[in-house]
Chains A and B, each alone.
Chain A
Amino acid sequence: MNHLIKNAVLLATFLAASLALAQEKGHLNVKTVVQKEEMTVSESGERETRLVEPDTVVPGDSVIYTITFANISDESAENVVITNPVPENLTYIEGSAFGPGTVIEFSVDGGETYGAKDELTVPDNGGTRTAKVEDYTHLRWVMQNDLAAGSQGVASFRAVLN
């Protein structure tokens, strides 16, 4: 009898420990970075864009958010969806969302529903109209394939400060 209880206790402790470990470690490493886009005109008259620290962002500047997600577990992650709200005071730049291997969708209702940009409508004077970038509340990137253990993905978008 003691033997059984002891094993049960050991098992419970072991499970608890491994759960704790798993929660601490997380399964994906998700990082987001924001940079400011600085436009310069080179000596030859060509426009160049550099990405710099967003130290001095003023209305009219563009910023780019880059999200990286790495699968640091030893299992494949399935149905991976990255969601990002469009921050207040920023307006999404049409067509700037980027994410290899993903389908990109937008929400105009606070993240309740998502759709392709041409499908989205908002109420307008009793009727509806096609949503514009100013109406977007969220973006999401839906990975089309599993994220294998040890691999990583990237998603990004650009926005203008109002």
Chain B
Amino acid sequence: MKTITKPAEIRLYYGNWFGIPGQYKKRRKRCECLRTENRLGHPPDHYGSAAVASVPWPETGQTLIVTSWKSTNVLRRLLLLMALACACGPAWSAGTAAGTVINNTATVDFLLAGTPVTQTSNVASITVVERVDVVVTLQSGQVIVAPGEADRSLLFTVTNTGNGNETFTLAMDSVLAGDDFDPQPAVPGIYFDTDSSGDFTPADLAYNPGNNDPQLAADAAIDVLLVNDIPGAVVNGNVGRSELTATSSTGTGVPGAAFPGLGDGGVDAVIGATGGEAAQTGEYVVGDVQVDIIKSVAISDPFGGTQPTPGATLTYTVTVEVMNTGTTSGSVLRDPIPANTTYVAGSISLNGGPLSDPIDADAGELDTSGAPTVVVRLGDLIQGNGIQTITFAVTID
């Protein structure tokens, strides 16, 4: 499904379709109104009859009501597009502050027996109440760790997406089902990223429930770290997860649940779409491959000896071996031809099998796109593959 970026406006046309400036080509449909006389010619960037109305693109959450079109297909497509455009945007921002009073008065002007009169209505008043919403987003990607490592952190952001001030309590859970190991919280486990480093440092303040629960204004956010130790008995590729939960202190519940008087300034608080609580899970992955790479050279001079004289041939041997239970994924050996030497054509071999110099289907070549470099693709290697031996030769200039 193609994501449509939010255009500035959409234009409504008669008939069974609509047009978005710049995107009409993807939505060409036959205009059912062609039989009417209202065609004013084709505007340069649209197909079909001229626009009969331009309406602004609805804001997230708004509903655009199309009242003058007989075809319901237009409305359906509009709603679909709204969903697409809205779904790909960020979570909506707080909106009008809780406690805001909105007053409205109507005025009527008229003539009575020729005398102008102005009258005003009563005041219709709305008080905006507080909507309680929170979002937790994971900032870290997969964090690669080694067995037994201490103090590895996952970074999250907690955002108050409601429209009033709110205090949140935080909780951490590292004993989750479905992963390979349980990270061990480095007590107290939850820290604020006080120095904004994105990582756990001595400057970061520990979270102390009930004493420094984060207080966030509408739309404000705070960075939180979950810090765990990695157990020793894990192997390469094992995954361990740790979850951060943020809960509003005013209350949680189904969207629409009301907490009378508990909003900012004593207005009511109403739980929003998030239920007043949010959680996200971060992931550690054990990446623990030990690879031994050893390079040696044999010299053969034109006189039958082993002196590195001009014209002598240098044969390089590189061995690659995985030493533990890890896997090297998609490994590639790259070895540049040394200065003052010239590559001996056709000399690359892998495990005794020759590899052709040009780039082709085999595992290696001489890469001449830059400085000449021997390239050999070794693929995914484990200990069981044994020693991989690569050789190639050059002559001293």
User: When A54-B126, A132-B56, A134-B56 are in contact, do A59 and B96 touch as well, CB less than 8 Å?
Assistant: yes
Contact residues, B250-275 vs A (CB, 8 A) = 258, 268, 270, 272
The answer, yes or no, to whether A60 is at the interface (CB within 8 Å) is: yes
User: When A28-B119, A59-B131 are in contact, do A65 and B104 touch as well, CB less than 8 Å?
Assistant: yes
Q: Which among B95, B103, B117, B122 is the interface contact of A31 at CB below 8 angstroms?
A: B122
Instruction: Enumerate chain B residues within 8 angstroms of A85, measured Cβ to Cβ.
Output: 104-105
CB distance from A99 to the nearest CB of B (A): 11
Q: CB distance A82 to B107 under 8 Å? A: yes
Q: Interface residues of B toward A: which range?
A: 35 or more
Binds A, one of B57-65, B167-175, B312-320: B57-65
The answer, yes or no, to whether A83 is at the interface (CB within 8 Å) is: yes
The answer, yes or no, to whether B163 is at the interface (CB within 8 Å) is: yes
Q: CB distance A32 to B128 under 8 Å? A: no
The answer, yes or no, to whether A26 is at the interface (CB within 8 Å) is: yes
User: When A30-B119, A161-B96 are in contact, do A55 and B105 touch as well, CB less than 8 Å?
Assistant: no
Contact residues, B36-90 vs A (CB, 8 A) = 53-56, 59, 61-68
The answer, yes or no, to whether B102 is at the interface (CB within 8 Å) is: yes
Q: Which among A32, A77, A160 is the interface contact of B105 at CB below 8 angstroms?
A: A32
Q: CB distance B126 to A81 under 8 Å? A: no
Binds B, one of A1-9, A10-18, A86-94: A86-94
One digit per residue, 1 when the CB lies within 8 angstroms of any chain A CB and 0 when it does not, for chain B 91-131 equals: 01011100010111111111111000101111111111111
Instruction: Enumerate chain B residues within 8 angstroms of A62, measured Cβ to Cβ.
Output: 63
Q: Which among B64, B65, B106, B272 is the interface contact of A58 at CB below 8 angstroms?
A: B272
CB distance from A57 to the nearest CB of B (A): 5
Number of A residues with CB within 8 Å of any CB on chain B: 50
Contact residues, A100-117 vs B (CB, 8 A) = none
CB distance from B13 to the nearest CB of A (A): 15
The answer, yes or no, to whether A130 is at the interface (CB within 8 Å) is: yes
Q: Roughly how many angstroms separate A55 CA and B256 CA in the complex, as a whole number?
A: 12
Q: How many A-B residue pairs have CB under 8 A?
A: 137
CB distance from B326 to the nearest CB of A (A): 51
Contact residues, B107-157 vs A (CB, 8 A) = 107-113, 117, 119-131
Nearest-neighbor residue (CB-CB) of A90 within chain B: B102
Q: Roughly how many angstroms separate A62 CA and B92 CA in the complex, as a whole number?
A: 16
Q: Roughly how many angstroms separate A27 CA and B110 CA in the complex, as a whole number?
A: 10
Q: Roughly how many angstroms separate A82 CA and B95 CA in the complex, as a whole number?
A: 30
CB distance from B38 to the nearest CB of A (A): 14
Instruction: Enumerate chain B residues within 8 angstroms of A91, measured Cβ to Cβ.
Output: 59, 62
Q: Roughly how many angstroms separate A84 CA and B107 CA in the complex, as a whole number?
A: 6
User: When A84-B104, A84-B107 are in contact, do A60 and B124 touch as well, CB less than 8 Å?
Assistant: no
Q: CB distance B128 to A75 under 8 Å? A: no
User: When A26-B119, A58-B272, A67-B106 are in contact, do A34 and B95 touch as well, CB less than 8 Å?
Assistant: no
A58-B272, A82-B108 known; 8 other A-B pairs, CB under 8 Å?
A: A31-B122, A32-B104, A32-B121, A55-B129, A58-B95, A59-B131, A73-B112, A78-B110
Interchain residue pairs with CB less than 8 A apart (21): A26-B119, A27-B110, A28-B117, A28-B119, A32-B106, A34-B126, A59-B96, A60-B61, A65-B106, A69-B108, A73-B112, A77-B110, A81-B110, A85-B105, A91-B62, A93-B63, A94-B55, A94-B65, A95-B65, A132-B56, A160-B61
Query: Contact residues of B with A, CB < 8 Å?
Result: 9, 53-56, 59, 61-68, 92, 94-96, 100, 102-113, 117, 119-131, 163, 258, 268, 270, 272
Listed from nearest, the 8 A-B pairs whose CB atoms lie closest are: A59-B95, A58-B131, A34-B124, A132-B56, A30-B121, A32-B121, A60-B61, A77-B110
